[in-house]
Amino acid sequence: MRVSQRIGFTAAIAGLILVRPAAAENVPAAASPPPAPATAAAPAVAEQADRLLRQMGAYIGSAEQFTFHADITFDHVLPSGQKLEFAAAEDVALDRPGRLYVEWSGDLGNRQFWYDGKSVTLFDPATPFYASEAAPPDIDAMLEKLLPQLNFAPPLADFLYRDPYRAVRANVQYGFYLGLNDVNGKSCHTLAFVEKDVDWQIWIDPGPQMTPCKLVITYKTHPAQPQFSAVFTDWDFAPRIATPVFTPDLPPGAQKIPFRTVASTRK
């Protein structure tokens, strides 16, 4: 937890106010609005929300293997500001400590991502090109250290860590519990969280398998506030994953090109 967040956390407990220190300094004392009515101190993240999130994280984080499917919608914003929604499907196969396969099939393109404990490989089947890079031996290190350098991460990577709770909880400023709500006919615990840059909601299966039912992220820093939504299905914690799944399966003649981050300059 960063220092500023810790201070924010403390401030929230003290007065039910979430103000970053920098923001507080900018407000002259005389011009400050009257303090919020004194109420019983409430944590910035409701205990129930925090507990459910932790339980979900512990459940999927402790699994040595799993597969799941997610049906995704995401917004694409036109330069005019108009939001368009597109869909994708993501399939994930994970085998700790060091094997992962992610397949993304979407309206705007497909991707395949392989990690075998030695290297990561990314392939866009619409092109003859793939890129490959040496990788650390376990999934957490690969996600944490390598992928930021390569400037991408498989969507829903949050749920692939050993400790998904830590991954998603780190930047939360405020969180609360919304009760049991429907996700495609299943009743799931609904939690909502506020961060500086995103708001997100997660629906968690009440059990016995405390898996995510659904995730929605709103990107607040973009004026159009685009959203990403994923509905999870087919969680399988005793999957029979054939080993070749984690080995890049590239078409004959595929050419290796570098990972290199460039800003696309065309608008």
Partner 1 sequence: MGRFFTDRKKLAVALLAGAAIVACLAIGVERAAAFRGGFGGFRGGGFGGFRGGGSFHPGGFAGGGSHFGDGGSFDRSGDAGFGHDGFGSVHNASDFSDRADSFQQSHPAAPRSAGEFQQAHPEARQNASQFEQTHPGAQRNASQFQQAHPDARQNASQFQQNRTNEANTLQQNRSNEANTLQQNRYNDASNLQVNRTNNWNNFNGNWGGYYSGLGLGAGIAIGATLAVLPAAAIALSVSGTPYWYENGVYYASQSGQYAVVPPPQGAVVPAPPPYCQTVDLGEGRTYDCGGAFYSSVPNGYEVIPPPIGVAVPDLPNGAVDRTVSGVTYFTYGGAWYQPLYSGGGVTYQIVAKPG
Is residue 13 close enough to count as binding partner 1 by CB under 8 A? no
Provide the b/e sequence for 40-68 (b: ≥16 CB within 10 Å).
Answer: eeeebbbeebbebbbebbebbbebeebbb
Nearer to partner 1 by C-beta: 60 or 217?
217
Among residues 52, 63, 88, 210, the one that binds partner 1 under rule CB under 8 A? 88
Number of residues counted as binding partner 1 (CB under 8 A): 93
Nearer to partner 1 by C-beta: 91 or 195?
195
Q: Find where tokens 């990972």 sit.
A: 259
> Do residues 4 and 20 make contact, with C-beta atoms less than 8 angstroms apart?
yes
Q: Find where tokens 């910035």 sit.
A: 44
Is residue 140 close enough to count as binding partner 1 by CB under 8 A? no
Nearer to partner 1 by C-beta: 178 or 249?
178
Among residues 50, 59, 75, 231, the one that binds partner 1 under rule CB under 8 A? 75
Query: Which residue, among 154, 139, 168, has the nearest Cα to 65 in the 3D structure?
Result: 139
Q: Taking CB under 8 A as the rule, which mask of x and - marks residues 16-45 in contact with partner 1?
A: xxxxx--x---------x--x--xx-x---
Q: Which stretch binds partner 1 (CB under 8 A): 58-66, 134-142, 161-169, 232-240?
A: 161-169
Among residues 1, 13, 141, 178, the one that binds partner 1 under rule CB under 8 A? 178
Nearer to partner 1 by C-beta: 116 or 158?
158
Is residue 237 close enough to count as binding partner 1 by CB under 8 A? no
> Do residues 225 and 219 make contact, with C-beta atoms less than 8 angstroms apart?
yes
> Do residues 70 and 232 make contact, with C-beta atoms less than 8 angstroms apart?
yes
- Rounded to an integer, what distance in angstroms lies between the CA atom of residue 88 and that of residue 122? 17
Q: Taking CB under 8 A as the rule, which mask of x and - marks residues 179-218 in contact with partner 1?
A: xxx-----------xxxxxx-x--------------x-x-
Is residue 262 close enough to count as binding partner 1 by CB under 8 A? yes
Nearer to partner 1 by C-beta: 71 or 242?
71
Is residue 71 close enough to count as binding partner 1 by CB under 8 A? no
- Rounded to an integer, what distance in angstroms lies between the CA atom of residue 123 and that of residue 131? 7
Cis peptide bond N-terminal to 258, omega within 30: no
> Do residues 45 and 200 make contact, with C-beta atoms less than 8 angstroms apart?
no
